[in-house]
Amino acid sequence: MLFFYFVLVGVYHKMFSSILSFLLTVGIATASPVVTVKNGSYSGIYNPTYHQDFFLGIPYAQPPINNLRFRLPQSLNSTFNSTVPATAYSPFCVGYGGDDLGHEVSEDCLYLSVIRPSTTAASSTALPVAVWIHGGGLFMGGSNDPRYNLSFIVQNSVEMNKPMIGVSLQYRLSGWGFLGGKEALAGGATNLGLRDQRLALHWIQENIAAFGGNPKQVVIWGESAGAESVGSQLLAYNGRDDGLFHGAIAESGGPSINFDPSLITAGYNSTAFQSNYDLLVSNTSCSNTTSTTSLSCLRSLPFSEINSALNNTASPSAPFPFVPVIDNDFVFTYPSVQLAKGNFVHVPLLIGTNTDEGTAFIPTNISESTDADFASSLATTITAPSIPILSALYPDIPALGIPSPSTFPLNESSSVPTQYRRFASYFGDIVVNAPRRASNHAWSTHNVSSYSYRFDVVVNGIDSSAGATHFQEVVFVFNNTCGQGYAVNPFGNLTAKATKRFDELAVLMSRSWVSFITTGNPNENGVKGAPVWPVYDVVNGGGEGENIVWSVGEGGSYVEADTYRAEGMAFISDNALAIYGR
C-alpha cells in the first residue's frame, strides 16, 4: 500500500544546496574544543556563528557489520590515547526512502553528535540534555538531515537563559534493524533499531557529563517514527525505568503506534511478519538454507547483496515490511496492555499531533464515492462486525472530516475522491490521534504529568487538500525559519503579516519545548502573552483533558477541550488490542 506520506516527503528531498548550506553552519574552527569520555578524547569544532561547540560522528557502539550484523548492538570495548577528530557527521544508516536521497548511507552507522553552547566548558552547572531521535517510518532518514539542525533550538535555549545540550543519534533501519519472523526471534535479532537507541542512551548516561551535560536531566524527543521510538523506550522491558531519561517528547507518534494501517490487524506479533523475512532470504543466495541456518547465512553475505534484497523487499507497495515486534523482552507485550496497567516509565510527557494527520496516511489509490466503498476499504484494517459501527462513527459529512471546509474549501474538492475527508479523519485517528489521546489518558490516570497539543497551521508549499498534515510542526519546533533543508521553505512566500505570525509561533513552540526539556514544564518559555498550557487531567477534568492549539490565526494559539471525534477515537482505543492488535 502506497501512502500519500511519500508524496509529501517528495516535497522535502534534500537538494545539494540545502545540504551545503547546513554544512556551512559548522563554520571554521578557531579553537578546537576537546572532551574526554570513557574510552578516549575527541576534538570538535567551534562554530562562531552560533557560539557553539560541535562534536560530530562519535561512535556509541561497535560497528554492526560482519558477524555483528543482525545482532544486539555491542558496547565499545577499546580505548585510544590520541585525540580523535569528531568533526564530520557519520553516514545515515542504510534506508530505502526519499529522506535518504543525497546522503551517504552505510551499514556502519551507530554514531551520535553533540551540540552544546560553547560556554558550557567553563560553566560549573551541568546542562539539561535533549536527545533527538529522527523519524522516517523506521525505514529511512538520519539525524544529520539539515531539517533537524539543533543549532537553532540550542541557541534559543541560551537566549532564554535556559541553556541545554542537543544530542542526535543514528539507529539501524528497515530489515537491518527490524527483522521479524521466528528466525529473528530465536536469534535475538528483533527490535535492533530500538536497542541501538537504548545503547546510545546508556552511552549518554556514561559520557554526557564530559560535555557539560547532566545525566540526570535527559529528555528523549522524536517525531513520527522517532516519536514511536520514544514511546517504545517508555514501554521497553515492560516499562522498566533504567534511569536513562527523565522526560519525553513525542510529535505525531508515541506509545501504541503502528504507522502502516494495512499491518494493524497483524499487530506486533513477530510471526505475522514471517513472510517478510522469508522474502528477504529468498532474494539472496541464502534461499536454499534452512530456518536454523538462514540468519547466520545472511550475516555472511556481502553488504551489496543484502542491500539489493532489501531494496526489493521494501517495495513501494509494501513500504513498512519491517517494524517492531513483540519479543517478550524489549517489546514485552502489547502497548495498550502496558498503558492500562501503568507499565511505562513514569516521566513527564509532551505529546501531540497535527490537525490533518490523516491526509498523510490514506492510500493514494482510493477512489471510493459511496458508503459501500468506504465499508469495503475498512475491511482491510478491521473485523467485519466493526465496519457498520465505524461507518457510523466516521460519517460522510465533509464538515466532520479533514481537512475542514475552512482549510480546504468544498468547491476545490474535485481534485480528491468524494470520501477523501472521511478516509483522512479515520486513518489519522487510527494511526496517531487515538493513540495520542490514549497516552495522555494513561499518564493522567496513573498520576503522571503530560501535555497535549494540536498543531493547526498550513505551511507554504503544502496544498490545502493536505491541510495541517504530518511533519509540518517540525520546522516550528526547531525554529528553522530559514527553511534549511527544505526544497520549498515552509516560511516562504508569505505576506509580511503572515511572516510575523509564523515567526512568533516558531519562537513560542521552540521555547516551550526548551522549557519542557529544561524544567519539565512547557510554560516557562518567557514569551509574553503566551497561553498557559494545562497539564492533561482526565481525573479532575470530567473525563477529558485539554490541548493547546498552535495557530497563526487572528487570536493566536489557544487552549481547547480534547473532545474532537471523541466517539470514534474512544472506539479505537477501547478496541486497541481486540481489533487493532496493539
C-alpha to C-alpha distance for 260 and 380, rounded to whole angstroms: 11
As given in the structure block, the three cell numbers for residue 272 are 505475522
Q: Which of 127, 153, 221 is nearest to 519 (CA)?
A: 127
224 given a catalytic annotation: yes
Ranges of beta strands (E only) in 202-259 are 213-223, 247-251
- Contact at 8 Å (CB) between 380 and 278? no
The SS3 of residue 484 is coil
Rg (CA), the chain: 23
Query: Do residues 488 and 11 lie in contact, with contact meaning Cβ atoms separated by under 8 Å?
Result: yes
- Rounded Cα distance, 149 and 388, in Å: 46
* Cell numbers for 107: 551499514
Judge contact between 168 and 134, C-beta under 8 A: yes
**Residue pointed to by grid coordinates 496493539:** 582
What grid cell was written down for 97? 526512502
String of b and e for 71-89 (b: at least 16 CB within 10 Å)?
bbbeebeeeeeeeeebbeb
Rounded CA gap, 371 and 357, in Å?
22
Rounded to the nearest 5 degrees, what angle is found at the Cα of 581, between the Cα atoms of 580 and 582?
100
Angle between helices 371-378 and 420-428 (to 10 degrees): 30
- DSSP 8-state secondary structure symbol assigned to residue 344: S
Of 183, 223, 228, 357, the catalytic one is 357
- Grid coordinates given for 44: 570538535
* Bridge partners (DSSP) listed for residue 550: 455
Find cell 547532566 and name the residue: 214
Q: What are phi and psi of 205, to 5 degrees?
A: -60, -40
Give dist(CA 152, CA 156) in Å, integer.
6
* Cell of residue 510, nine digits: 521552540
Closest CA to 395 of 423, 368, 367, 415: 423
Residue 487 and residue 17: Cα distance in Å, rounded?
10
Q: What's the grid cell of residue 141?
A: 532518514
Q: Which backbone phi and psi does 16 adopt, to 5 degrees? A: -60, -40
Q: Which residues contact 478 (CB under 8 A, 6 or more apart)?
A: 147, 148, 149, 150, 152, 153, 510
Residue-wise burial string across 309-337, b where 16 or more C-beta atoms lie within 10 A, e elsewhere: bbeebbeeebbbbbbbbbbeebbbebbbb
Spatial separation of the C-alpha atoms in residues 471 and 188, rounded to whole Å: 33
Q: Which residue is it, cell 477541550?
A: 561
Is residue 357 among the annotated active site residues? Answer: yes
From 18, 90, 151, 224, active-site residue: 224
Active site residues: 224, 357
